[in-house]
Every structure is written in structure tokens, then in C-alpha cells.
Structure 1
Amino acid sequence: MIGGKSFTAVAINCAAKAGEWIKTKLGKHTSLSLKYSAQDLVTEVDKGAEKMIRNLIMIQFPHHSILGEEGVEPGPEASTQALQDMQDEEYLWIVDPVDGTTNFVHGFPFFSVSIALAHKGEVIVGVVYDPMRDELFVAEKGKGAYVHGQRMSVSEEGTLHEGLIATGFPASPENARLNMQSLQAIAPQVRNIRSGGSAALHMAYVAAGRLSGFWEYGLNAWDIAAGSLLIKESGGIVTDIAGEPYHLGVRHVAASNGKLHDSFISELKKSAAHS
């Protein structure tokens, strides 16, 4: 606790307030611009939500640092540089104000607010909020993960064959090509594939046992930092595509209930080797 406000309470408050505001804007966006590619949109809502979250954090913790999607130039190089510039900060908030902007723009109700707090490079608080379903996923390091106030735990599927696996379709042509190869390799091995369009919500769903696993290429710290803690605190595993442990710099992510992680990584590695 600092100044009477716990880190987790502030993260929840930020996500809930931003999420409720975003929800009121659904179907009313007036200006759009391209971020990085034709698939990668940004709206005034993203910018407004991030500003709201920044202000709420700064009021409580004026000496903390904030890495937010809308404060970083488009493209992977800028994202990597922004993280490198900040990852040694003692307390770093990592914010995606609208994860699933394309869905939001189309009125497809699958998007989320993702807020994480890292202490010396390790995620200690993770919050993902889905305003359309009013679902708040919360994790605190060492204290478990919760949705609707109920403790979450990952699913029980022990094999890929039983698994429901999610992915996302990356903006960059190279990552898109890698992902299609992985999709061709994974799809025949699993029960089915889903692609909802919000990496943060996919990871929250792995934590809640609704998905057995998730992979995607070319993500940023703000897409996956909060979700990584949700999954770990629910008993799952988060690595990069090669199976190496997750850290804030990971861009190609694989997450699962842990029980089918080895075979999941094995298939992803095989598909990457054929590129």
C-alpha cells in the first residue's frame, strides 16, 4: 500500500473507468487513422482511454513510469525501443487502452482494457477488463487470479487433440506468414481454433479455463503483460514460441494450461522450421 491505495485497487479502478467510457463510444467513433498497416487502426477512443488511465495512475503514483500503446510510435522497432528505454524503471505500468481496436471500430463486442504493473521488470499486477460482458480478470503476484471474484484455474485438457486453441492474425506480412504456417500445423492437431481479435482477452480466457492455449506472433508488451500474470497465477504457462520463459520483451507468445504446453511448443517449432 502506498498513500492508502493498493496497486491492484488502482489498476482495477483505471480499467473499470476506462472500460465504461469506451463502452459508451461503441458505434460512435468519428475519426480513424491507420497505425502501422491497413489492419492496424487507432481511434480517438484509444487515445482518450489512455489519457484517462495515465491521469488516474499519476494522481496516485506520480513517480511511477507508464508505457502505453498510444504513447509509442507505430511499428515493432519503436515498441521495442520504448520498452528498452523503460524496462529498468522500478515501477512501470504497461497499458493497452483498447486491445481489439479493429473489433471496436466494427462494433464486434470482443475487446478489452489491459493494465499491468511491473516491478523491476517482473509483472506483479495484471488486470484485463471486458466492458461488454462486465468481466474483470485480476491477478496479483503470489495471490492467485480471479474473475467475478471467483478464483480462476486453467483447463484440464492434457492433449492438443482435446484442446481449444486461439490465435490472432498479425499486421506485419512476415509475422502473418509465420502465423499461417503455424495455423496449418496446429489446426489438424486440436479440437478447434478460435480468433477473437484481442490478445489480452484470449490470455484471460486461457487463465479462466475457457481456452486451452493461445499463440500469436508480433505482439507488444502491452498486449500480453497483464495476461501473462493472469495465466501464471491460474496455474498455466507463458513462454515465447520457442518455449523460453516469458519476459516483457517477448513478442511471439505461446500460452497454455501447462498440461499440453510441450506438445504445443513442439508443433509451433516444427512449423517455424519449415519457413
Structure 2
Amino acid sequence: MNCSYREVCEAAARAGGEVLRGWLGRIRAREKGRNDLVTEADVESQQVIQRLVLTRFPEHLFLGEESTDEGRPDLRQAFESDTPVWIVDPLDGTTNFVHGLPAFSVSVAVSQRGRTVAGVVYDPIADECFSATAGGGAFLNGEAIRVSDCRSLDQALVAASFSAHVERDSPEIRRFVEVMMRCQAIRRFGSAALNLCYVAAGRLDGYWATSVKAWDVAAGCLILAEAGGQVTHIDGRPFSLLDPRFASSATESLHGELVEVLKAAG
């Protein structure tokens, strides 16, 4: 069944990506909150994905970023249910998308009792489809991928995600500065799903995030884990989509070093 789920994840992600390609360059955005944009592209992408998923699995739950509060299932209750739940970000990297920056993606995952069993992240501009099933490995356009062998922070290319507006003395800034002082280089790409996949593919060595939701990272965390990477809560505890602030790394030794720096700074 996991293979079937992966196939539907991929079909849904590619369908959403096709919508985004059609909207690129002709976007009207509105604000959900400060620096929190929603576009017609987000909404249409989710509609296409939801229709495809629920046509195939009408009894399943659907949790999408653009779902209304009334139509969005409670994640904790969903994880306690035997009913599979689809966790979808129809456009991860909305700000990049609105500005025409080609760093955004579609993320589709399916979870059972709190465990992600299949996931796909699709970059519609690069036509890169990252996928994984639990216990089945991680792939990029059908070819197996693996994390890098980076073992120390001073050799690591790292990415970070946190809110755009934070105080100068906030933990987010302290973490960023402390890691920046110790790593080879640091990046902020603006798509959590792609960042996780880049660690999975060996393009990045580490990544941490404090401002993400379950739909941003459900697929990417599975893909990274299946590629041999490490994912924990930002303080080193086991990772949970119910509190998806996390640190991720290519290797265990690098992960221990990154988590210690993040904990000391935050």
C-alpha cells in the first residue's frame, strides 16, 4: 500500500506543480497575516491535489495549508485515528513564488497514526521529484539518493528557517549567529520542503527550522530519514509533527554538534 500511496503522492504533487507553473509571473497575492501571503495559485493547487487524493481515497482525511479552519482536521486527533491523513502544502515558498524566485515546491505526504508512510516533494521549475516510502529508501526522479558524509559543523553547508520579523536578541538570531560562526556557510532558501530534500540529496549538510508547520515538512522529513539523515526536535528530543521545530543533519556526529550549538544559543 505504501507504494500506492507514493504513486498518488507523486501524481498529486505533479498536478499541483502544473498549476503553479501556469500561475508563475501573473500572481495576485493577499495577506493572511504579517508576511504571510496566500495566492490564487496556492488555493487552486490545493483544490487540484485534494480532488485527486479524495477521488482515490474518499474515506481519508485531508490536511492542507489552505484548508479553512472548519474544514481542517485536528492533527492530534487525526494521528490518534486509524484513518490515514494526507498532509499537504500546495505551495511551499509562497514569498519566493510571488517574487518570481524559482525556489518553491509542492509537498504531499500521507500519515497513519502519526507515522508518515509516504511523501513527495516536487520542484516544478527544476522538474525534480523527491520521494520516499517508510522503509523503502529515498529517490530523486527515480534514482536513489543519499545524504553527504559531512561529520563536522566547520565543514558543513547549513540552511535555516525562522520568521522574517524577530527581535535582535531573540533565540532565532542567536542560533543563526552561533551556527554561522561555526559552519562553512549558511543559506536561507525559503522552502522548508526543498531544504530537507537538499540535505537528503547531499546538497546541504544540515538544516534547522523554528517557524514551520506539519504540512511544510511531513514529506521532507521522511525523505531525509530514508536517505540516511538525522531529524530530531531542535533540542534533540524525538521529532514530532505536532511540534515540528527541528534540526536535521547528514550524519549523527554532525547532528550532535549542530543540536548542541542550537540548544546553547536558544
Q: Note the 1:100-179 alignment, pairs <5 A.
A: 100-171=93-164, 173=166, 177-179=170-172
2:264 aligned residue: 270
State how far apart, in whole Å, the 2-side matches of 1:9 and 1:181 are: 41
Task: Give aligned-pair identity as a percent.
Answer: 40
CA apart distance, 1:72? 4.5
Distance 1:16 1:175, change over 3 A: farther
SS at match of 1:16: helix
CA apart distance, 1:172? 6.1
State how far apart, in whole Å, the 1-side matches of 2:23 and 2:247 are: 32
Quote the RMSD (CA, aligned, Å). 1.9
SS at match of 1:87: helix
Q: TM-score when scaled to structure 2?
A: 0.94
SS at match of 1:35: strand
Q: 1:83 aligns with which of 75, 81, 84?
A: 75
Q: Note the 1:1-275 alignment, pairs <5 A.
A: 1=1, 6-29=4-27, 31-37=28-34, 39-73=35-69, 82-89=74-81, 90-171=83-164, 173=166, 177-259=170-252, 260-272=254-266
CA apart distance, 1:182? 0.5
State how far apart, in whole Å, the 2-side matches of 1:265 and 1:86 are: 30
SS at match of 1:12: helix
SS at match of 2:211: coil
CA apart distance, 1:20? 1.5
Unaligned runs of 5+ in 1: 74-78
CA apart distance, 1:173? 3.7
Unaligned runs of 5+ in 2: none
State how far apart, in whole Å, the 2-side matches of 1:72 and 1:244 are: 31
SS at match of 1:153: coil
SS at match of 2:207: strand
Residue by residue over 1:139-183, the C-alpha shift from the partner in whole angstroms, topping out at 9 and shown as x without a partner, is 000010000211111011110000000012315647993221100
Kindly provide the amino acid, as one letter, of the partner of residue 17 in structure 1: A
1:76 aligned residue: none
Q: TM-score when scaled to structure 1?
A: 0.91
- Contact 2:79-2:112 at 8 Å conserved across structures: no
- Contact 1:72-1:82 at 8 Å conserved across structures: no
Kindly provide the amino acid, as one letter, of the partner of residue 268 in structure 1: L
Kindly provide the amino acid, as one letter, of the partner of residue 83 in structure 1: L
Kindly provide the amino acid, as one letter, of the partner of residue 264 in structure 1: L
Number of equivalences: 262
- Contact 1:169-1:176 at 8 Å conserved across structures: no
Kindly provide the amino acid, as one letter, of the partner of residue 53 in structure 1: I
